[in-house]
Structure 1
Amino acid sequence: MIIVHFTPTYHPVIGGIESVVKSLATQMASLNHRVYVICLSRHTLVSDSAREITADGVSVLYFTHYDIFSPSRISRLSKVLRSADILHLHDPKLGLLVAIALTLLPKTKKYLTTHGGFYHHNRFPLIKKLYASTWARYALGKLNTVFAISEADFLAFSRLSPVPNVRLSLNVVRMNPFGVDPAVHPPGVRNWLYWGRTSSNKNLVSLLNFLMFLNNNDVHIVLHVCSSYPLQDLIAFAKQHGLTNVFFYHKPDNSHIASLINQSSVFVLPSSYEGFGLTLVEAASSGLLPIFNDISPLNTVFPSDVGLALDFSDFRSSLVAFLEYEMIVSSDQSTFVTDAIAASQVYSPKRRVEEILSVYLS
């Protein structure tokens, strides 16, 4: 099959959608499908010569809104689209507009993956209104299947979409991405690790405030924070408040992160909103116990007995819940680690790609 994935950006840009699309595209290419990725952004490009590349068997084409004025670029895009058996959209914010445009390709199967949609926070109010409109329902009606990556997405798009097959299809996540031994971790649950972005939704200042509260109650946590994004403000905050038990690493390489994973027992994700929480699953597949903010969809990523959901807006109740969790885990930590690893496996790329390809062929 000729499969075309639409995405805002692609590897090496770091992010949840980028990781998911790369996993899908490379897995499908390895199964001898002809795979294109069309990016509607050029964040990683430095010259026009890099606007079409091949990586891991996948043809990656970069476009911007300026390309609507370039006959050669429009011709190239049109040629790829008209050759496609499958068109798979990976950005709900663009999904409607692209779906309308793709009505010009009535014989091509079309799919949308929600990637957390935009129903877990108060952003994108205009897009939400558009999705509820008549023309949006018409656009969604041109899709063969909407893959909802979480229960929250499934409920939201089932209400919006006339597509008879809105399908709950769990996200694609890299398993043990840093290649660690999942059994090598210190005892206890007081060595914490975070890796990912430092954007406001990650709620890292609240996490640091929580650690200050724990320190004041004689509960001392060691936290390592890794990010390729700016850390200066967080470092200054920690220094100002005397948080000597928090360590920051800017752009650590994979071997350094692997070392920190083996020095840690918990991965913490305090986000105020998330589309899915991909790093939480990556961490669990590496043998880290997940501790996360008690919000949707994070509290639906794993069964309720895997990890610990805390209310990061209520430090006192979170302290009580953490101490109870610590006591329970101490009785049989290896079983908790094994359960976290097992729970993460339902998101493995191989399993998810097999499922998606079977839908393509149905």
Structure 2
Amino acid sequence: MTSAVADIQANKQAGPLIVHVVRQFLPNKGGLEDVVANLCRQLVSRGYRVRVVTCNSLFSDPGRHLPESETIDGIEIVRIPWSGSSRYPLAPKVFRHLADADLIHVHAIDFFFDALAWGKLLHGRPMVATTHGGFFHTQKYAAIKKVWFNTATRLSALGYASLICCSQSDARLFSQIADSRVHLIENGADVSKFSNCAALEARRRVVTIGRFSINKRLDHLLDVMKVLAARHDDWHLDIVGAESDLDRATMEKEIAARNLARNVALHVSIDEGSIRNIIARASLFASASEYEGFGLVAIEAMSAGLLPVLNVNEAYKAMAETHPALMLADFADPEAAADALTEAFERLEADDLSLRQELLRDARAYAWNEVAQRYMDVYAETLTPRGKSPQLLRQRGQAA
């Protein structure tokens, strides 16, 4: 038997090949990248073959090209050149890496979402997409976005068997253009890496985690810390993340301008063990973010036993409807947000750990093994011929 024939037979016996298409992936760190990476790891562990097609440089460092191909954690990664905006990166070479896919899974509503839908006659593969918040994160260009959504996005959506929404707000929005093809699968989270590691006693210490992006509104959070520090000098904020729209020097200037050097610490691109040590000294989590696709980091904070105080964006409001322990505040109003963080501290101070147990229990519902199974069910339905049962395909994908 020739090697080529042997490879073909081996692939037939292996699980389906799912090709994930996403604008940024490992080694970049962020909510979107973490979701795709965790889903891919779960699929690999269950016998699926997985390929990720992504851009060949990080948007935070576009001049440094990453390797064209690489394997990380059993995930085949193919990187392709791109041009244009980081919000809508043009990367037509994606079509070169789809021919052997059993199913294509597109992540986010961007060039890839549109191009692969309009180019379906070229690749001929069944497709699903995960919305990851769409593009209505801010009110900027709201009128143009609405027109685009109801025309271009509506037409592109016709190319997908399912649109998977990772929040209730996404599901309500995309149901307007995809109706019964919308599936709600809230994002998974790695609820083990920081599990139950927050301080057991109430402390006036706050952690925020995320890339240093303008939309995270770290300036608003620093304004809130200035109010808190004036009220009680033991309030402390740890800012954990990686450089993005904002760099370390800019953040240090923002901290110094508010005379917060004693109350705020900046931690740039540190490892998980170091983050865990920071969380172990804290009781509260805060996010002043203007928008989130889902709010993954808030779930990770809950899994640690931190009580989250979150800005009133759409994703966080939807999350608070499901998890009443979470607290919302308008971080554009420093006094009001400072009041909310003070109230959160007082709740923990008066608590007998039942609030902590509620947070831990709520976080466990987002464990990736549960979430991955929901994705596999969608894959099975998409790949099953009409009138047949998807059960055999599920078993094939689960066979290691």
Scaled by the length of structure 1, the TM-score of the pair is: 0.88
Change (3 A) 1:127 1:343: same
**Among 380, 386, 391, the residue aligned to 1:361:** 380
1:7 matched to 2:22: yes
Deviation at 1:155, TM superposition (A): 1.1
1:120 maps to which residue?
A: 137
Name which of structure 1's ranges 269-278 and 315-324 shifts more when overlaid on structure 2: 315-324
Q: Write the mapping of 1:203-214 to structure 2, written as runs, cut at 5 A.
A: 203-214=217-228
One-letter amino acid of the counterpart of residue 332, structure 1: D
**Among 189, 197, 208, the residue aligned to 2:211:** 197
1:50 maps to which residue?
A: 67
Secondary structure of residue in 2 paired with 1:225: strand
1:61 matched to 2:78: yes
**Among 225, 236, 248, the residue aligned to 1:222:** 236
8 Å CA contact 2:312–2:328 kept in 1: the answer is yes
Secondary structure of residue in 1 paired with 2:219: helix
* Number of equivalent positions: 350
List per-residue Cα deviations over 1:127-175 (Å, max 9, x = no partner): 5432211x543321121100011111111111123x5321111012222
1:89 maps to which residue?
A: 106
1:167 matched to 2:183: yes
One-letter amino acid of the counterpart of residue 174, structure 1: D
Change (3 A) 1:333 1:39: farther
CA–CA distance in structure 2, aligned partners of residues 49 and 270 of structure 1? 32
CA–CA distance in structure 1, aligned partners of residues 153 and 257 of structure 2? 49
Deviation at 1:54, TM superposition (A): 1.7
Deviation at 1:21, TM superposition (A): 0.7
List per-residue Cα deviations over 1:299-332 (Å, max 9, x = no partner): 2224342221111122333344444433333222
Change (3 A) 1:109 1:346: farther
CA–CA distance in structure 1, aligned partners of residues 290 and 66 of structure 2? 40
Name which of structure 1's ranges 259-268 and 300-309 shifts more when overlaid on structure 2: 300-309
CA–CA distance in structure 2, aligned partners of residues 297 and 361 of structure 1? 28
Sequence identity (%): 24
CA–CA distance in structure 2, aligned partners of residues 124 and 41 of structure 1? 29
One-letter amino acid of the counterpart of residue 280, structure 2: N
2:332 maps to which residue?
A: 313
One-letter amino acid of the counterpart of residue 226, structure 1: V
Deviation at 1:113, TM superposition (A): 0.3
8 Å CA contact 1:45–1:51 kept in 2: the answer is no
CA–CA distance in structure 1, aligned partners of residues 348 and 64 of structure 2? 52
8 Å CA contact 2:66–2:79 kept in 1: the answer is no
List per-residue Cα deviations over 1:55-87 (Å, max 9, x = no partner): 211111111248xxxxxx98x965642221111
8 Å CA contact 2:191–2:300 kept in 1: the answer is yes
Name which of structure 1's ranges 270-279 and 143-152 shifts more when overlaid on structure 2: 270-279
**Among 177, 192, 208, the residue aligned to 1:176:** 192
1:352 matched to 2:385: no
Secondary structure of residue in 2 paired with 1:258: helix
2:293 maps to which residue?
A: 275
CA–CA distance in structure 1, aligned partners of residues 227 and 96 of structure 2? 59
Scaled by the length of structure 2, the TM-score of the pair is: 0.80
One-letter amino acid of the counterpart of residue 242, structure 2: S
8 Å CA contact 1:188–1:333 kept in 2: the answer is no
2:348 maps to which residue?
A: 329
CA–CA distance in structure 1, aligned partners of residues 271 and 115 of structure 2? 38
**Among 227, 234, 237, the residue aligned to 2:251:** 234
**C-alpha RMSD of the superposition:** 2.5
CA–CA distance in structure 1, aligned partners of residues 198 and 37 of structure 2? 28
Structure 2 residue runs of 5 or longer lacking an equivalent are 1-15, 84-90, 382-400
1:35 matched to 2:53: no
Change (3 A) 1:251 1:79: closer
CA–CA distance in structure 1, aligned partners of residues 195 and 35 of structure 2? 23
1:69 maps to which residue?
A: none
One-letter amino acid of the counterpart of residue 340, structure 1: L
Secondary structure of residue in 2 paired with 1:281: helix
8 Å CA contact 1:272–1:293 kept in 2: the answer is yes
